[in-house]
Amino acid sequence: RESLGNFKCDLGNPFGEPWSDIVSKNKSRSIYSSIPSYNVKAFIAKSNDDLRQESLTMQILKIFDKIFKQNEIPLKIRTYDIIITSLNSGLIEYIPNTISIDALKKKIGNKIDFNTFFRIFFADNFEEAQKNFCESLAAYSLITYILNIKDRHNGNILLDMNGKIIHIDFGFILGLSPGGMNFESAPFKLTKDYIDI
């Protein structure tokens, strides 16, 4: 048990500096901070990429989110803004306080498994993080199944600091597959790591 506590110290915060702290720092230096609608958002600039399909998929996800909320269905998805600036460029809202499952697994290495990471990192609120994980997993599994979203590797799935997963990069939907070859037979991603949590 002591070694797991040490591992948490070694791991630090894999989600980076809390976004609220970053916003506060920027607000304190901004000449516009007194404006009531002041807000800070970060965007990723993408070029040589047609974001129209990504934008359409995000609009559909926003409809799913609205349906879940209106019907009080406890499924959680995280939508984000996409601004298309040309046929092959645009801006995608950065999702703060997240890490891809791929990057997290590289960070924790073979020292512990994903379930143990959850129990260590979310020790103070494990059941809430577990609930958030399950509700977001169920939501994205349903959406992935209905929209036939492919290319669901660990680099395209984020984990946030509350335990929710967030899918990104929707370049392959409605039967389209990377390279035109469909190697993914599963209708959604449900790995042993996910089941263990």
Q: Which residue would you say has higher pLDDT here, 189 or 103?
A: 103
Structure tokens at 68: 């879940």
Structure tokens at 103: 């990057």
pLDDT in tens, 4-26: 555 555 566 788 888 888 888 88
| Cβ atoms of residues 164 and 122 within 8 Å | no
Tell me the pTM. Answer: 0.82
d(CA 69, CA 42): 26
| Cβ atoms of residues 27 and 38 within 8 Å | yes
End-to-end CA separation in angstroms for the chain: 19
